[in-house]
């Protein structure tokens, strides 16, 4: 098991007055450090909260709620495996030599703590726009490269910057809800009345503008909240182990070992995978979570060079998803209680009662934020919220594409204060959730303003 990095405080106090954002961040960092529990403890508390809401709000019996919980507990095994593969294949690709060397090259061009914060946020944001699994890992690895090279960086903020940049995934080409409703055969196609093209969701001009705004402003915001030198917690680079997938230097002695190190096997299977993907898209197939996993799987195989190198990278990546695998059944149980108890229907009726054709997307955005505490994955989240949002949009005549996109934006916005997706980052960064979460609050507030204004204007 990897040891935790040695964290170093500033060598000497420096008298520099903190700005307003720094003081706000210091307050939230202290608050989270004292009161925020481990993500697994949080999901247990949320389970009890949902149980109480079912009994008190929709008047379900306690045995009925427990039955709904146990029924839903294993409902998302397929989806949880897909999500696990997103993270693992993203990790394997991010630590491959071409990607790792690219990150290392970028790190050599950065000088100073604030530049490191900006660079980490940008790399995480751009990578997450392409794929949320890849961005989640690549941003963290970028942060680690910079932490090794540059002294005086507040390491918890550096890791939090990677996580705040990751929020852009909700506007990107791997955003689950837009991809789902654009995929043939999805369970919502009948109720929607067909498919909704990505041109009407993630490629809306307003959404593209938000991508640019966040890529420009989040790095600056994270730079502004960097603590004064007197409060910096640095990391000792000597405590890091190598994360790049290095080639095995041992000379293969047996036929089996030679097979394991044959680069041609990776090339051939990557070519086969590329042919499958080309045919898939040529024949009208769409981008979904399975094709995204396939793209990253075959690219990873190609970039690692040999079967044994890729197996080693995947084995390392699996270590980062243990917490996710553990928590997914509990969140599935919460989703089961929400869906079966009628709580989701109650929310739908309330929402229709207060909404108009113009305000429904905004209320969908806000309700999505709340629901994401209990269902912190876009796919499972949409399985709960999708049916009643589609029904509500039809009743009030709201735009289905924009309403769906608003739900996705609310989901990704909430991720900045819901620590579920921090779990892989915590494993890689070797920090705990209390050390990071306080530094995502100010970005969370800003992202909320950007999203809310966008949804109200469109």
Query: Per-residue pLDDT for the chain (458 aa), expressed as one digit of tens each?
Result: 445 555 555 544 444 566 788 888 889 989 988 888 888 999 999 999 999 999 998 889 999 999 999 988 887 777 778 878 888 998 898 889 999 899 999 999 999 999 999 999 999 999 999 988 889 889 999 998 899 889 889 999 999 999 999 999 999 988 989 988 887 777 777 878 888 989 999 999 999 999 999 999 999 999 999 987 777 877 765 555 544 445 555 677 788 888 888 999 999 999 999 999 999 888 877 677 788 889 989 999 999 999 999 999 999 888 888 888 888 899 889 888 887 887 766 776 777 678 888 999 999 999 899 888 988 878 778 877 888 888 889 888 999 999 999 999 999 999 999 998 888 888 888 888 999 999 999 999 999 999 999 999 98
pLDDT at site 208: 97
Cα 171 to Cα 209: distance, rounded to the nearest angstrom: 10
In the chain, the number of structural domains is 1
Domain membership of residue 206 (yes or no) is: yes
- How distant, in Å, are the alpha carbons of 95, 112, 141 from that of 99? 6, 23, 10
Residue 244 lies in a domain: no
Query: Looking at the domain assignment, is residue 245 inside a domain?
Result: no
Q: Which residues contact 414 (CB under 8 A, 6 or more apart)?
A: 368, 369, 370, 372, 373, 376
Give dist(CA 111, CA 155) in Å, integer: 15
The encoded tokens of residue 182 equal 């654009």
**pLDDT at 16 (0 to 100):** 52
Q: Is residue 7 part of a domain?
A: no
Q: Which domain holds residue 356?
A: 31-234+253-457
The answer to whether residue 17 is domain-embedded is: no
Smallest CA-to-CA distance from 168 within 131, 222, 201 is with: 131
Q: Which of 118, 106, 109, 115 is nearest to 219 (CA)?
A: 118
Q: Does a structural domain hold residue 11?
A: no
Residue 5 confidence (pLDDT): 57
Inter-CA distances, 282 with 268, 275, 277, 331, Å: 21, 10, 8, 37
Render 122-161 in DSSP notation, one character per residue: HHHHHHHHH-HHHHHHHHHHHHHHHHHH-TT--HHHHHHH
pLDDT of residue 9: 54
- 8 found inside a domain: no
Q: What is the pTM of this model?
A: 0.84
- Tell me, rounded to whole angstroms, the distance of Cα 82 from its chain centroid: 14
For residue 259, being part of any structural domain is answered with: yes
């Amino acid at each position: 098991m990897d040891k935790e990095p040695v964290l170093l405080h500033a060598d000497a106090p420096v008298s520099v007055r903190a700005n307003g954002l720094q003081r706000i961040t210091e307050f939230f960092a202290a608050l989270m450090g004292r009161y925020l529990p481990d993500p697994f403890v949080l999901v247990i508390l949320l389970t009890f909260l949902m149980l109480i809401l079912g009994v008190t709000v929709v008047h379900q019996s306690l045995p009925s709620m427990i039955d709904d919980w146990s029924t839903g507990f294993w409902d998302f095994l397929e989806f949880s495996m897909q999500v696990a593969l997103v993270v693992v294949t993203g990790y394997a690709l991010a630590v491959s030599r071409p990607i790792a060397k690219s990150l290392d090259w970028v790190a050599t061009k950065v000088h100073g703590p604030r530049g490191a914060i900006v660079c980490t946020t940008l790399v995480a944001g751009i990578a997450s726009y392409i794929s949320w699994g890849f961005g989640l890992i690549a941003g963290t690895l970028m942060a680690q490269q910079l932490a090794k090279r540059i002294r005086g960086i507040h390491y918890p903020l550096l890791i939090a910057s990677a996580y705040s940049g990751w929020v852009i995934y909700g506007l990107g080409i791997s955003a689950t809800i837009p991809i789902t409703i654009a995929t043939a055969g999805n369970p919502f196609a009948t109720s929607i009345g067909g498919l909704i093209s990505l041109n009407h969701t993630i490629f809306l001009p307003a959404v593209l503008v938000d991508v640019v705004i966040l890529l420009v402003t989040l790095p600056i915001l994270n730079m502004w909240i960097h603590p004064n030198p007197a409060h910096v917690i640095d990391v000792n680079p000597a405590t890091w182990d190598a994360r790049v997938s290095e080639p095995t230097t041992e000379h293969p002695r047996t036929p089996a070992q030679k097979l394991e190190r044959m680069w041609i096997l990776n090339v051939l299977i990557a070519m086969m995978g590329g042919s499958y993907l080309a045919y898939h898209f040529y024949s009208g197939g769409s981008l979904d979570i399975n094709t995204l996993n396939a793209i990253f799987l075959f690219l990873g195989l190609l970039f690692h060079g040999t079967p044994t190198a890729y197996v080693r990278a995947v084995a390392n990546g699996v270590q980062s998803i243990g917490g996710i695998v553990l928590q997914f059944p509990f969140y599935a149980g919460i989703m089961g209680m929400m869906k079966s108890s009628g709580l989701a229907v109650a929310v739908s009726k309330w929402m229709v009662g207060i909404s108009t054709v113009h305000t429904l997307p905004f209320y969908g955005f806000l309700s999505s934020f709340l629901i994401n505490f209990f269902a912190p994955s876009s796919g499972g989240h949409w399985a709960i919220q999708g049916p009643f949002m589609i029904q509500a949009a039809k009743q009030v005549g709201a735009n289905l594409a924009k309403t769906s996109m608003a739900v996705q934006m609310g989901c990704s916005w909430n991720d900045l204060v819901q620590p579920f997706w921090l779990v892989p980052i915590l494993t890689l960064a070797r920090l705990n959730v209390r050390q990071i979460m306080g530094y995502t609050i100010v970005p969370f507030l800003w992202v909320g303003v950007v999203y809310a204004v966008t949804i109200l204007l469109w």
